[in-house]
Structure 1
Amino acid sequence: MSVLELFCAVDDFWLAFAPHWKASQLATGKQRLRPGQLCPSEIITILIHFHQSHYRTFKAYYTEHVQVHLRSEFPRLVSYQRFVALIASVQVPMLAYLQSQYGSCTGISFIDSTSLEVCDPKRISSHRVFATDAKRGKTSMGWFFGFKLHLAVNEQDDLLACCLTPGNVDDRSPVPILVKELRGKLFGDRGYLSAPLTQLLFEQGLHLITRLRKNMKNHLMHLSDKLLLRKRVIIESIIDQLKNISQIEHSRHRSPINFVVHLVAGLIAYSHQDKKPGLHLDQLALLAA
């Protein structure tokens, strides 16, 4: 997606969202916002495009690419320091825009979580930015300090839901709220294995399917469910793209709000990808099996 196409998509959303957002702000007693040199659509477009540009740092992207090559697209650019100060102002619109980019539930969903490390474990005692928010957690790769990103996707690799928790939160804790709008079958790894959770989701109209632990008795499973469990790796490929292409994980954050905004921008950038690693399944045949 080009910068122009991205801006058009963002601006169409902003024109529909802005009146409701401004009305809600006035209702809560906040003063009317003055128009800035850069409009919110331009700020959001630049933030999302950074995660599509393969630059490692936002500062290099803004100073070396935006201010050099995109001046015709953004004629009223501000300095890098001023732009960083403006990032927090688009947090709410970007969260709303992310929700507008969610795919539709097809009856086949996959769930997984990934760690977002915010600093080296050896520097935890001196870390200040997320000292009260981030927590120590453990994954199959070892201990980390930071957060967990929980994702739910369909078989077409469209995002269905996401949430952020401290690193010490159990993967099963946010699941009921995360997937409350989903129906059909939900496939996860052994970390989601729980009889109470399975029963709770079943009452919500969702069938949780996971692999069994080695010390558990085997049970019969539909062939289609067994095949789909093998395809659960598709969500891991999404996580890999988010971390290595969209750069949602690094240790250079200087503001919790900017961390959230850049995380949301990375998720939106993935949603706008032209090609996604979908499974291209015959879902009617699978659901009937």
Structure 2
Amino acid sequence: MGTTAIFCESDEFCKEFEPRWEQHLLESSLKRRRRQGALCLSEIMTIMVGFHLSGYRTFKYYYLNYVLRYQRGYFPGLVSYNRFVELLQGSLLPLCCLLTSRFGQCSGISFIDSTKISVCHNRRIGSHKVMTEFAARGKTSVDWFYGFKLHLVINDQGELLGVKITAGNVDDRDPVPELTRSLFGKLFGDRGYLSRSLFEQLWEQGVQLITKVRKNMKNKLLPLFDKLLLRKRSITETVNDPLKNISQIEHSRHRSPVNLIGDLTAFQFLAMKQLSDVIARCPAHGIKIYTPSPPTQKSRIIYFSPVGADALLRNKRS
């Protein structure tokens, strides 16, 4: 997605956000400097989102060697790098609201997962100073880490439905009720979300939590459709992998929470572009997510409609 497209969406959002934010500040008697700067809020957000889509590893190199050199035509009022870092602090709340405004629509089929965000190597925990007020030690199924947990809920199209960042020592099940307030239908997760009390709580909200059972538990019968979808929990990796390997959300160079929120917002722009490309190439206007069995037999293919909530189960001969 180009700079112009990102700016247009950010600017449309700021036209709605800023008047309401100013009204809130007036009602709460909070004083704020109202002098217009050289860069408007939408331009700051565009540069921040563009950085996470650019592939650059450090924002300083991106700003000095790319933005100041090649994007003055887009941003005539560019300021120095030090001044821009100061302006970034005021964009955290708007970036959070922009991220929320770009959430997808629940289709009745949702997937939940969490992933670690380490802020330093385990041997450097004692000397780490940047995130000491927020980060904590946590443990995954692989090893220990120091940092945060990113809890994600996505729909069958890979769009974000809910995001929550917690300390590394928070149980995966704790943020689930808050993340699923606006959901309905089926919610698929891994064994880390096994809990009878959580299942009953979500059931009262109209959400059916479906997980695999542990090895020492009795097996339970599931409809074939639910079993097939339970195998497709790996769709969450289509979100985690770009966040960590393209947007570089996990590294030891974070200097403020703004970078983390900028990563998530940039991913929403990237995901919408990729989704539109996939839909344009798919003749059936659906996304094939399941292809089992040998080619000599009937193969079942599940298509998720990109505009509706229904899943079509077809029988197709190879």
If the length of structure 1 is used for normalisation, what is the TM-score? 0.94
TM-superposed deviation, 1:121 = 1.0
Q: How far apart are residue 285 of structure 1 and its match?
A: 4.2
Query: What is aligned with 1:237?
Result: 238
Equivalent residue for 2:304, pick from 271, 281, 289: 281
Q: Which amino acid in the other structure matches residue 274 of structure 2?
A: K
Matching of residue 262 in structure 1 with residue 266 in structure 2: no
Distance 1:286 1:107 in 2: 13
Name the residue aligned to 1:162.
Answer: 163
- Per the alignment, residue 298 of structure 2 pairs with none
Cα offset, 1:163, TM superposition = 0.4
Task: State the one-letter code of the partner of 1:272.
Answer: F
Which has the higher relative contact order, 1 or 2, with Cα contacts under 8 A spaced 6 or more apart? Answer: 1
Q: Alignment identity in percent?
A: 53
Q: 2-side partners of 1:189 and 1:275: how far apart?
A: 26
Q: Distance in 2 between matches of 1:142 and 1:89?
A: 36
Q: State the partner residue of 1:151.
A: 152
Q: 1:223 to 1:250 in 2, by over 3 A?
A: same
**Is the 8 Å Cα contact of residues 113 and 190 (structure 2) preserved in structure 1?**
yes
User: 1:30 — aligned with what?
Assistant: 30
Letter of the structure 1 residue corresponding to residue 310 of structure 2? L
Does the Cα contact within 8 Å between 1:10 and 1:45 map onto a contact in 2? yes
For the pair 1:59 / 2:60, whether they are aligned, the reply is yes
Shift of 1:120: 1.1
Q: Is the 8 A contact 1:151 1:162 kept in 2?
A: yes
- Which sections of structure 1, spanning at least 5 residues, go unmatched? none
What amino acid maps onto 1:264 in structure 2? I
Give the RMSD, CA atoms, in angstroms: 1.5
Q: Which has the larger radius of gyration?
A: 2
- AA partner of residue 275 (structure 1): Q
Unaligned runs of 5+ in 2: 279-286, 290-302, 314-318
1:47-98 per-position Cα deviation (integer Å, ceiling 9, x unaligned) = 0011110111111111111111111111111111111111110111111111
Map of 1:3-14 to 2, 5 A cutoff? 3-14=3-14
| Matched residue SS, 1:125 | coil
Mapping 1:66-81, distance limit 5 Å:
66-81=67-82
**Other structure's SS at 2:131 match:** coil
Could you tell me how far 1:128 is from its partner in structure 2? 1.2
- C-alpha contact (below 8 Å) 1:224/1:286 kept by paired residues: no
**8 Å contact kept, 2:158–2:238:** no
Residues 285 and 243 of structure 1, relative CA distance in 2, 3 Å threshold = closer
Displacement over 6 Å in runs of 4+: none
Residue of structure 2 equivalent to 1:18: 18
SS of structure 2 residue aligned to 1:231: helix
TM-aligned CA deviation for residue 31 of structure 1: 2.4
Aligned residue for 1:117?
A: 118
Aligned to 2:211: 210
Structure 1 residue 170 displacement after superposition: 0.6
For the residues of structure 2 that align with 1:202 and 1:50, how far apart are their CA atoms? 41
Alpha-carbon contact 2:108-2:184 (below 8 Å) kept? yes
Distance in 2 between residues matched to 1:36 and 1:249, nearest whole Å: 32
Equivalent residue, structure 1, for 2:296: none
